[in-house]
Homo-oligomer: A and B are copies of this chain.
Amino acid sequence: MASHDVPRAEDGTDLAERCRDAMLARDRASRSLGIEVEEVGAGFARAAFTVREDMLNGHDVCHGGFLFTLADSAFAFACNSRNAPTLALQCSITFVAPARLGERIEAVARERTLAGRTGTYDVEVCGPQGPVALFRGVSYRVTGTVLPEG
């Protein structure tokens, strides 16, 4: 990214951060899992959590559903980053390695395409040893704004 006088607003980071803050304030699900949205930008988000005891499945590794939820949250923050409210329409996830108790897991969401009302986002979910899951989401924009109007 090139430097500017008003760097953060110009490239959409400021707007993305305000959208994130407004969403997080209402998003009890992400908070209850300890998800932290560490960085956002236009069409971009990075979120993380630490695998807790109550996230483990019968194989003693993190339930895939929580890895999905982390990825889906990153996806949501990325696709709502331009103040246009956007929903997940379809998501796919491939599980590639287990995530274990106490590991810090990070999901990085990047916009791949955006056309009309729909977009495609790739989310890479990584633990300390590398990728644990690959996620891809298709988004659908609805009417309104993410931020309160006026």
Q: Is the interface of A mostly helix, strand, loop or mixed?
A: mixed
With both chains docked as a complex, state the minimum distance between the C-beta of A63 and any C-beta of chain B, in angstroms: 3
With A89-B118, A90-B95, A118-B89 known as contacts, the answer to whether A63 contacts B69 (CB < 8 A) is yes
Q: Residue A68 at the B interface, CB < 8 A? A: yes
Asked if A140 and B118 make an inter-chain contact with CB atoms under 8 angstroms apart, the answer reads yes
- Chain B residue numbers with a CB within 8 Å of A87 are 59, 95
Of A28, A56, A73, most B-chain CB atoms within 10 Å:
A28
Question: From residue 80 to 137 of chain A, which have CB atoms closer than 8 A to chain B?
Answer: 85, 87-97, 112-113, 115, 117-118, 120, 131, 134, 136
Instruction: State the Cβ distance, A33 to closest chain B Cβ, in Å.
Output: 8
**A100 CB, min distance to chain B CBs, angstroms:** 13
Nearest residue (CB) in B for A85 is B59
The residue that A136 contacts in the complex, of B32, B68, B136, with Cβ under 8 A, is: B136
Comparing A1-9, A19-27, A38-46, the segment that makes contact with chain B is A19-27
Of A69, A87, A89, A94, the most chain B CB neighbours within 10 A belong to: A94
Chain A residues touching B, range: 35 or more
Indicate whether A30 reaches chain B with its CB closer than 8 angstroms. yes
Q: Which residues of B contact A63 (CB under 8 A)?
A: 27, 29-30, 69, 72-73
Chain B contacts for A59, CB-based, 8 A? 26, 85, 87
Q: How far is the CA of A115 from the CA of B57 in the complex (A)?
A: 21
